[in-house]
């Protein structure tokens, strides 16, 4: 089978697209081609309806109300914790904490587990391809504690140099935090291998699943990661909600993150005792509507044939990489062997931002710049990339339009040399 054959997918994209109303929108009068899925995915109608349904029919604060609406809202909210448990295959729903997103999950762990366990002279290990949200919280922690932030380097293709790992993990390493799938390069990192090596020295591993959760089937028990985080908005759910998974024995030892209602067991002016996990980490009224809608997004994903959906994404990736690489003046950035459906590229002598603006006039939404991964750009000595990130609802015809308009953008934007 040819890597460029666009008709090999058995996945019914046309049918799936009907679930996403925004895909019928126009941008600048042209049919919208949405290739900014790594920034945020679009939402199926059922997710949009779940939010409106909650506010229209059973909006109430949860857990402390005896009335009908509060009971209904509480049950709907509590159900989602079980759905996430099932979705990630965690041992218990107690291991699932609702947070605003991946960024908050990392900050939570850095501020609690990190503050408790990382001391002067210790080391925190991350990788060269982290999103800023998996760099800055650890950097803040290291600055506060006098610890050192160390980095697993990557090669020119955007793959981690795993041979360095044995030198980078030392007796001083207190936690390792790695991105599962790079948002800029699409690289799928060998996190399982990192976890095995870390655990051999008793070091816990945090996996940033912001991109991997929608592009793979996650099994935290199989991975044996100690922490895992994802953002709802990147996997068909709403913004402002995400989850932190943590092994119960670690969560239990960690001090609370924020103080307030719900996270307590008893409060007096002399002393407060804390609620059990996961509630210890969920101070205040939670994002009830979006938790419920996240549950619907999970239902949506789980009722799909994910093997087919992921195979379709993979074919889109191969097809796009093949055709883009054939255009003179295009350089692909991130050519790891194990990749999710993210294509980054630069154009010779053309600014990524200008190309992005050009594609926008054709209705094509791509992202340009450093994608919150400035160290990757520094490592590759480029200011930024044009990034097209695909999800299962994208089509080969949309990729054809991208390829066509990238070629036209080069002709249109190319500097005229004297
Ligand atoms: N990690 C990765 C790999 C990401 O791609 C992102 C967002 O793009 C984040 C973390 C942060 O996610 P959020 O902004 O939803 O907290």
| pLDDT tens readout for residues 151-176 | 999 999 999 999 999 999 999 999 99
pLDDT: is 10 or 322 the higher one?
322
Q: Buried (b) or exposed (e) across 318-327, using 16+ Cβ within 10 A?
A: bbbbebbeeb
What pLDDT sits at residue 416?
A: 82
- CA–centroid distance, 234 to ligand 1, in Å, is 8
According to CATH, the topology of domain 13-43+305-413 is 3.90.1150
pLDDT at 6 over 60: no
- CA–centroid distance, 139 to ligand 1, in Å, is 17
**Do the beta carbons of residue 351 and residue 369 sit within 8 Å?**
no
pLDDT at 5 over 70: no
Catalogue the active-site residues: 372
CB proximity list for 44: less than 8 A, separation 6 or greater = 19, 20, 236, 297, 300
CATH number for the domain formed by residue range(s) 48-303: 3.40.640.10
Pocket-testing residue among 185, 191, 211, ligand 1, by greatest number of atoms within 8 A of Cβ: 211
- CA–centroid distance, 207 to ligand 1, in Å, is 12
- CA–centroid distance, 201 to ligand 1, in Å, is 28
Mean pLDDT of 380-385: 97
Q: 70 is written with which tokens?
A: 């509060």
Q: Whose CA is nearest to atom 4 of ligand 1?
A: 210
Residues in the chain: 418
Bridge partners for 231 per DSSP: 242
Digit-coded pLDDT (tens) for 307-332: 999 999 999 999 999 999 999 999 99
What pLDDT sits at residue 148?
A: 98
Mean pLDDT of 141-148: 98
Digit-coded pLDDT (tens) for 327-363: 999 999 999 999 999 999 999 999 999 999 999 999 9
- CA–centroid distance, 72 to ligand 1, in Å, is 32
Mean pLDDT of 413-417: 86
Pocket-testing residue among 137, 182, 186, 231, ligand 1, by greatest number of atoms within 8 A of Cβ: 231
What pLDDT sits at residue 348?
A: 96
What pLDDT sits at residue 417?
A: 72
What pLDDT sits at residue 215?
A: 97
**Do the beta carbons of residue 121 and residue 172 sit within 8 Å?**
yes
Mean pLDDT taken over the chain = 96
What pLDDT sits at residue 111?
A: 98
Mean pLDDT of 237-253: 98
CB proximity list for 129: less than 8 A, separation 6 or greater = 154, 158, 160, 179, 182, 184, 185, 187, 189, 373, 375, 376
Digit-coded pLDDT (tens) for 182-224: 999 999 999 999 999 999 999 999 999 999 999 999 999 999 9
pLDDT category of residue 2 using cuts at 50, 70 and 90: very low
Q: Can you tell me the distance from the alpha carbon of 293 to that of 7, in angstroms, rounded to the nearest whole number?
A: 34
What pLDDT sits at residue 3?
A: 45
Digit-coded pLDDT (tens) for 44-92: 999 999 999 999 999 999 998 899 999 999 999 999 999 999 999 999 9
Which ligand 1 atom sits closest to the C-alpha of 104? 16
Pocket-testing residue among 180, 183, 239, ligand 1, by greatest number of atoms within 8 A of Cβ: 183
Q: Whose CA is nearest to atom 8 of ligand 1?
A: 39
Which ligand 1 atom sits closest to the C-alpha of 242? 15
pLDDT at 1 over 50: no
pLDDT category of residue 418 using cuts at 50, 70 and 90: low
Q: Give domain limits for the chain.
A: 13-43+305-413, 48-303
pLDDT at 141 over 80: yes
pLDDT at 35 over 50: yes
Q: Can you tell me the distance from the alpha carbon of 46 to that of 55, in angstroms, rounded to the nearest whole number?
A: 14
Q: Whose CA is nearest to atom 14 of ligand 1?
A: 103
Output the ligand 1 site: residues, CB below 6 A.
Answer: 101-103, 131, 133-134, 179, 183, 208, 210-211, 231, 372
């Amino acid at each position: 089978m040819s890597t460029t054959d666009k008709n090999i997918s058995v996945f019914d994209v046309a049918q799936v697209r009907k679930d996403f109303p925004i895909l019928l929108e126009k941008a600048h009068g042209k049919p919208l081609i949405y290739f900014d899925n790594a920034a945020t995915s679009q939402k199926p109608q059922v997710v949009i309806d779940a939010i409106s349904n909650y506010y229209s029919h059973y909006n109430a604060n949860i857990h402390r109300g005896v009335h009908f609406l509060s009971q209904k809202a509480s049950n709907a909210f509590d159900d989602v914790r079980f759905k996430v448990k099932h979705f990630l295959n965690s041992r218990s729903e107690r291991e699932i904490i609702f947070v605003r997103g991946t960024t908050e999950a990392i900050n939570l762990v850095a501020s609690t587990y990190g503050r408790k366990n990382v001391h002067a002279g210790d080391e925190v290990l991350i990788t060269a391809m982290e999103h800023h949200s998996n760099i800055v919280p650890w950097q803040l922690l290291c600055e506060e504690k006098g610890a050192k932030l160390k980095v697993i380097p990557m090669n020119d293709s955007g793959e981690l140099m795993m041979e360095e790992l044995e030198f980078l993990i030392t007796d001083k390493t207190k936690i390792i935090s790695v991105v599962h799938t790079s948002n800029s390069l699409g690289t799928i990192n060998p996190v399982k291998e990192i976890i095995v090596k870390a655990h051999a020295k008793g070091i816990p591993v945090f996996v940033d699943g912001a991109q991997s959760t929608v592009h793979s089937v996650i099994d935290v028990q199989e991975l044996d990661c100690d922490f895992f985080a994802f953002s709802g908005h990147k996997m068909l759910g709403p913004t402002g909600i995400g989850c932190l998974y943590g092994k119960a024995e670690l969560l239990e030892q960690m001090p609370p993150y924020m103080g307030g209602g719900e996270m307590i067991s008893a409060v007096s002016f002399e002393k407060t005792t804390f609620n059990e996990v996961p509630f210890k980490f969920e101070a205040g009224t939670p994002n009830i509507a979006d938790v419920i809608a996240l549950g619907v997004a999970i239902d949506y994903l789980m009722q799909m044939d994910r093997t087919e959906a992921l195979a379709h994404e993979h074919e889109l990736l191969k097809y796009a990489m093949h055709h883009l690489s054939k255009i003179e003046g295009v350089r692909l950035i991130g050519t790891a062997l194990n990749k999710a459906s993210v294509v980054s590229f630069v154009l010779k002598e053309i600014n990524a931002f200008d190309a992005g603006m050009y594609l926008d006039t054709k209705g094509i939404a791509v992202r340009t710049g450093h994608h919150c991964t400035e160290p990757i750009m520094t490592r590759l000595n480029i200011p930024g990339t044009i990034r097209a990130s695909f999800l299962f609802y994208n089509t080969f015809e949309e990729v054809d339009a991208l390829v066509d308009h990238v070629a036209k953008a080069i002709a249109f934007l190319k500097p005229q040399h004297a």
